[in-house]
Amino acid sequence: MWAYEKRLQFPVKIKKTCPKTAQLIISQYGGPDGELSASMRYLAQRYTMPVKKVGGLLTDIGTEEINHMEIICAMVYQLTRDLTPEDAKTAGFDAYYIDHTKALWPQAAAGIPFTSIEFQSKGDPFADLFEDLAAEQKARTVYDNLLRVIEDPDVRTPLKFLRAREIVHFQRFSEALEMTKNQLGQNNFYYFNAEFDRNHYKPEEHC
């Protein structure tokens, strides 16, 4: 289960209203490589992982991604908190305003609603871990792109933190891959699917 802690993992204190910036960073809330997608991906994959410690890592990183979703939401909220009717006409934010006013709603920067089609839970440890490694790289690229175009230091500071986390998570997933290879230990990693072929692999024997 999860227990709420009444603070952000990284502080967000944005002084300047900017609906245009909100419109861009909302992608990391509900976009294809966003934090909601990341947390749902890892928390969905963990149940059937053949290596128990990898299931544990997916739980911990999936939990941290929820923290990151909250940071992004706080940023969107603070960027639009004092929105005036005139601000609401800002190109890019006007369509969002019509449907959601100042409320938070998970969507990509281009307006596509959050969808689980953006991530995969495949049921094969190698397919899923490579998906996770790729996900961290894609999210890192989004943060690079945001940092190139956003100048407000109050916005850049948490974005730089979030970008750094993608690289740390990439390292951890790469270590999870090594642990998985080590446990399944053989030359042909594709001889069976450790999440399905119980005649070849019994997870309970590796607890």
Partner 1 sequence: MSLDNCCTSPGTLAMASFTMQKWCGLYDWDTALKEGTIFKELNLPIFFADKGSSNLNTNSPVSDTAQQEREKLMSKISAVSFAINDLTLYLDTHPDCPDGTPLFYQLSKERMDLLAEYADKYNPLTQLSMVTANLNDNNFAWADGPMPWEGGCV
117 burial (CB, 10 Å; 0-12 / 13-18 / 19+) is exposed
- Amino acid making up residue 131: E
Of 20 and 130, nearer to partner 1 (C-beta) is 130
Three-state SS annotation for 135-196: HHHHHHHHHHHHHHHCCCHHHHHHHHHHHHHHHHHHHHHHHHHHHHHHHHCCCCCCCCCCCC
Of 44 and 179, nearer to partner 1 (C-beta) is 179
Residue count of the chain, please give it: 207
Q: Are 143 and 38 in contact (CB under 8 A)?
A: no
Least distance (Å) between residue 85 CB and partner 1: 23
Least distance (Å) between residue 40 CB and partner 1: 19
Of 95 and 103, nearer to partner 1 (C-beta) is 103
Determine the Cα–Cα distance for residues 156 and 158; give it in Å rounded to an integer.
6
Helical H segments across the chain, by residue range: 19-25, 27-30, 35-45, 52-80, 94-100, 125-149, 153-184
Least distance (Å) between residue 193 CB and partner 1: 15
Of 118 and 169, nearer to partner 1 (C-beta) is 169
- Amino acid making up residue 86: E
Of 91 and 148, nearer to partner 1 (C-beta) is 148
- Amino acid making up residue 45: Q
Least distance (Å) between residue 117 CB and partner 1: 26
Of 89 and 156, nearer to partner 1 (C-beta) is 156
Which positions lie near partner 1, rule CB under 8 A? 3, 5-14, 53, 56-57, 60-61, 64, 70, 73-74, 77-78, 126, 130, 144, 147-148, 151-154, 156-157, 160-165, 167-169, 171-172, 174-179, 181-183, 185, 187, 189-190
